[in-house]
Amino acid sequence: MPFQPIAGYPLHRPRRLRAHPRLRELTRESHLTVSDLIYPIFVYHGANLRREVPSMPGQYQLSLDRLGEAVAEVAELGIPGILLFGIPEHKDTFGSAATRDDGIVQEAIRITRRQAPNLLIITDLCFCEYTDHGHCGPLSEAGGRLDVDNDATLPLLAQQALSHARAGADMIAPSGMMDGMVQAIRHGLDGAGFTHIPIMSYAAKFASGYYGPFRDAAESAPSFGDRRGYQMDPANGDEAIREVALDLAEGADIVMVKPALAYLDIARRVKDTFGVPVAAYNVSGEYAMVKAAALRGWIDERRIVLETLTGFKRAGIDMILTYHALDVARWLS
């Protein structure tokens, strides 16, 4: 440590820098701003639908005809980007609705582009909202276990990415934790001339209990088993670094850590190890806990959310995917 007590020398006093509010501002190390935020949106089949998700107060399933007003508000608040999820009417074993050029997310991209031309449109790339079994790709049996077929999923992911790119997506965010997914998507995009579209990879995504409310919103809970065969064990930090290294080697432009709160050590290690742009997903269960306590008047929601998100910045996170984005944008303005 730089400060060794010296006999007879005045006591060092950190409190000197805390007394004046302006001096606290000048010495503040991390800053949360509206430009750090990405807002996730659930687009749901049907018409004239704006249905609140019971476990996510303030978040809605929106039909395509109600999306325009929502994205206009996001843009108005100065939030740089949205992350689109689609919940289609028809699901099947392969999740074939995900790769259609007239699919729900593809249409949502076009509507967003029209309503909010300057908003960054990011699309979540996975199959769990589109398969009837709720897993993140087609299934096959290996070693007596039914699980997602990794290599059969890769070309489908490339197709899905291409249909998003053709519809006008600005960035693709694959969330399925398949081995080789970034490379497959990068090759697919490059081969069709979309070399300019970046990939934000869910690189270190853990098999987490915190996704519960999201699966209500996206109707994507697996109908059997769980996702531990493809998402990471929450106990593993070194493995997260290896996962991030692989995704970067395969061409990821931004790497994501998910969830955020219980994994800030991972975010810090990723930032220090690779020095690349790091995103964190402040997931549905994290949101639900804050909302539940706030609705009972047990916590000061604004203070707690701003403190939490500032903590993400301090941990080295560059951008935050959060359902609190609209509130935060209002609080900071």
- Catalytic residue set: 205, 258
Q: Considering beta carbons, is residue 157 or 329 the nearer one to Zn ion? A: 157
Q: Considering beta carbons, is residue 39 or 211 the nearer one to ligand PBG? A: 211
Tell me the closest approach of the beta carbon of residue 37 to ligand PBG, in angstroms.
14
Residue with the two structure tokens 């999923």 = 153
When CB distances are held under 5 to 8 angstroms depending on the partner's kind, the choice from Zn ion, ligand PBG, none that residue 215 binds is ligand PBG
Q: Considering beta carbons, is residue 194 or 281 the nearer one to ligand PBG? A: 281
Q: Considering beta carbons, is residue 123 or 175 the nearer one to ligand PBG? A: 175
DSSP 232-243: BPTT-SHHHHHH
Q: Do 257 and 318 touch, CB atoms closer than 8 A?
A: no
What pairing do the DSSP bridges indicate for beta strands 37-44 and 319-322? parallel
Tell me the closest approach of the beta carbon of residue 148 to ligand PBG, in angstroms.
11
When CB distances are held under 5 to 8 angstroms depending on the partner's kind, the choice from Zn ion, ligand PBG, none that residue 284 binds is ligand PBG
Cα 181 from Cα 169, distance rounded (Å) = 18
Q: Do 56 and 217 touch, CB atoms closer than 8 A?
A: yes
Cα 173 from Cα 98, distance rounded (Å) = 14
3-state secondary structure of 183: helix
| Residues at the contact surface with Zn ion, assessed by CB under 5 A | 126, 128, 136, 176
Tell me the closest approach of the beta carbon of residue 147 to Zn ion, in angstroms.
13
Cα 299 from Cα 302, distance rounded (Å) = 9
- Please give the torsion angle defined by the CA atoms of residues 107, 112, 113 and 119, in that order, rounded to the nearest 10 degrees: -140
State which residue has the least CB distance to ligand PBG: 214
Tokens of 193: 């001339």
When CB distances are held under 5 to 8 angstroms depending on the partner's kind, the choice from ligand PBG, Zn ion, none that residue 290 binds is none
Q: Considering beta carbons, is residue 136 or 204 the nearer one to ligand PBG? A: 136
Tell me the closest approach of the beta carbon of residue 142 to ligand PBG, in angstroms.
21
| Residues at the contact surface with ligand PBG, assessed by CB under 6 A | 124, 126, 128, 136, 175-176, 211, 214-215, 220, 227, 283-284
When CB distances are held under 5 to 8 angstroms depending on the partner's kind, the choice from ligand PBG, Zn ion, none that residue 124 binds is ligand PBG
Tell me the closest approach of the beta carbon of residue 278 to ligand PBG, in angstroms.
17
Q: Do 178 and 164 touch, CB atoms closer than 8 A?
A: no
Cα 121 from Cα 40, distance rounded (Å) = 10
